[in-house]
Amino acid sequence: MTEPAITPELVARHNLTPDEYAQIQRILGREPTYTELGIFSVMWSEHCSYKNTKPLLRTFPTRSPRILVGAGEENAGILDIGDGLAIAFKMESHNHPSAVEPFQGAATGVGGIVRDIFTMGARPVAALDSLRFGPIREEDARLGRDASGDAEGADLRAEVATNRRLFTGVVAGIAHYGNCFGIPTVAGEVSFDPTYSGNPLVNVFCLGVLRHEQIARGAARGLGNPVFYVGPATGRDGLAGAAFASQDLTEESAEQQRGAVQVGDPFMEKLVCEACLELLATGAVAGIQDMGAAGLTCSTCETAARAGTGIEIELAKVPQRAPGMTPYEIMLSESQERMLIIVQRGREEEVKRVFDKWDLPWAEIGTVTDTGRMVVRHHGQVVADIPARLIANESPVYHREAQEPAYVREVRAFRLDGVPETRDPVADLRRLLAWPTLASKNWVYRQYDHMVRNGTVVCPGSDAAVVRIKGDSLPPFSADLQAAVPNPDFEKYLAIASDGNGTYVYLDPYEGGKAVVVEAARNLACSGARPLGVTDNLNFGNPHDPGLFWQLRESVRGLAEACRALQTPVTGGNCSLYNQSPAGPIDPTPTVAMVGLIERREDITTQWFKDEGDAIILLGVPVDREDPLQGLGGSAYLQVMHGRKTGMPPRCDLEAAGTLHTTLLGLIQAGGIKSAHDCSDGGLAVALAECCISQLAGRSTPRLIGAAIDLTSLVPGSGAEGAASAPVRLDALLFGETQNRVLVTCAPLDAVKVVERARLLGVPAQRIGTVGGDWLRLKTAAGEFSVPASELHDLWWNSLGRVLA
């Protein structure tokens, strides 16, 4: 078979620069083969090598006493949760594939992150997703632009139709794979903004459980150990998907790379998962790695590099789904549900029996060597011979130019002088609750089986999901470990939340980055959990643009600072750059998923109001008086009611955040706190409404309860000490998004004690109302406003369904 000649044009089509090609020649001491060129292309893509982000990622805090496997060491980080138990979790993206083929792109994103978890020896027990799409309503797509003409209106309608197709396709793909595999999707978030039109973000997370002794490693250890391939045959689907994810998304590239989108089979993945976990319990496995991004290429060179060994494989032995596949295609295919397993020599028959039991295809394709090289043969002929360490760990690293974009000056200069005060807060509240970004996401999560495995304690719809870890959550034990395990009837409770705010990060990447981490931690605190660690997904545009790289650099600075301040180490994650369509780059959107531990079941707390007569207490300042925009910069209110996405977002005081979280946890653990809900998007009024309408007595029956709120004591122009300042606007009081605020409820007799204890610990606190009735009533210095809870629920609960009907 004749391979194409290596020309500058071919090198460029592989997204390699002339300098990078020269480095490849130096490494090899010769011209690369066509297969080697493809191998370097995918391994040195941004998706696999992080060549543009490594210097930034090193600034993240990655250590704590609980860390058992740290960021970058393996496929996922692992944290100790006590009693010999551990959790493995990670978040990754499938953005470009989902833009091209939303169903399969999202489905295989779920499959890939699940494999990362059971590759570590952990049983996957929970998933979540963080999604971003362009507007699915025409009125939202019109914001900030003139679409009055026929041509513009037609384009706008086509854009909205495309966004709806992508949205429904992605949700269906996530539901299909998770439901069929049997993993509950317990939490997540969905936002809509014009910046994501044509380039949706699909970030997926998985968490698994194991004992310390069950941690598996992705290293090719043991000279002479055989290398096994397990899983379905390799096909041409997913060809060079990692390289596709590392370039700008255009109509031409999307059409050309449609074959780069993999096709998933969740039922096959379930078999592979159970077989691998059973096999790991036998002790016959020396190393294990999934074939994710870059497929067979990545799994072979990375396992050899981690162990400091070499690996040699024969491609003719690899099961192939299509006739006449070339070495290039076999090495770069990203066909799903495949694993590479390094077996202890002499135990091959045990391994084959396990695979045969689960009716899985397998093949012995190679051997571990001591050469330090990845050698690939095809019918005996060497088609690739590369130093494993150099290709896996020594990719080029770039320090890109960063320059503050011009738009930032306009953002900083924005003031509220030209923004009229609200005239009808109830009408504004109605519009905000029906806005797809703030509306209930039940249309999404009711398609997910979030109760499978019977471990979900708090379902989607509260600040954080809570899952129960119990004996059957663990992978199979070896006989020796089974005898050594104390207390097999244990139970532990984990809270999981994901957060991101592209608008905040666009307007101020540093403050926005801090706010993303703090909101996730605040959500966990509201659930009664102490954060353990965080995994992130950095979704940004082209790093070669100095303005876009500045956004990335500054947001990472904010993320890292917040993680250090809150003592939540980063256990791993993913970088997804080049997220831009012909219309322009996305808003910079770092998303985080944070996991926390709840000490006792009775500490589990949810966001909705519980009992008539309970006292409602606000922890934190009503409005940040040092913020000239009073929390309205970048707010949902400013976007929905005034069509403006501008202004500096609310300041994020990390010391105040830590004090609030610690105080809230102390109040919950002391008993008496019945509900807790953070104030974030939409401000105080939206948070109060959500507390009234978000509880479900059953799967579809709402339990609504009103509240009487008196905000007249929050005197404009005065703070806790009565210091004078600028008058507080009514829209800022109701809809401003000042940070570090939480609504809690308790029995009326406990209210004074809760307020005094919070203040004693340094958290501003005041009682603002009482739970009860069928209406949400707001009393302010500007007047009294009221609306039936049933009306608010209908707007909030049914918004997405009506849009998509």
Please identify every residue annotated as catalytic: 47, 94
**N-to-C CA span, the chain:** 53
Rg (CA), the chain: 27
CB 799 within 8 A of CB 440: yes
CB 439 within 8 A of CB 742: no
Which stretch of DSSP H or E encloses residue 436?
A: none
Which amino acid appears at position 635 of this protein? S
Tokens 């039109």 map to which residue? Answer: 197
Residues 683, 730: Cα–Cα separation, whole Å: 12
Residues 299, 311: Cα–Cα separation, whole Å: 10
Residues 645, 144: Cα–Cα separation, whole Å: 8
Which amino acid appears at position 373 of this protein? R
Which amino acid appears at position 669 of this protein? Q
Contacts of 255 (CB under 8 A, 6+ apart): none
Residues 318, 303: Cα–Cα separation, whole Å: 18
Residues 663, 754: Cα–Cα separation, whole Å: 10
Which amino acid appears at position 171 of this protein? V
The angle subtended at Cα 503 by Cα 95 and Cα 415, nearest 5°, is 165
Tokens 């384009």 map to which residue? Answer: 155
- The tokens of 766 are what? 């005041």
Which stretch of DSSP H or E encloses residue 584?
A: strand 584-585
- The tokens of 712 are what? 């007249």
Count the neighbouring beta carbons within 10 Å of the beta carbon of residue 485.
Answer: 16
Closest CA to 491 of 470, 472, 473, 465: 470
Q: Please state the φ and ψ torsions of residue 707, each to the nearest 5 degrees.
A: -160, 150
User: In whole angstroms, what separates CA 130 from the centre of its chain?
Assistant: 5
CB 715 within 8 A of CB 785: no
- The tokens of 38 are what? 């493809």
DSSP alpha helix (H) spans, 568-721: 636-642, 654-669, 683-693
Residues 543, 154: Cα–Cα separation, whole Å: 33
Residues in the chain: 805
CB 784 within 8 A of CB 776: no
CB 624 within 8 A of CB 651: yes
Residues 664, 596: Cα–Cα separation, whole Å: 14
Closest CA to 200 of 239, 241, 146, 254: 254
Residues 305, 48: Cα–Cα separation, whole Å: 14
Residues 791, 330: Cα–Cα separation, whole Å: 58
Residues 80, 528: Cα–Cα separation, whole Å: 19
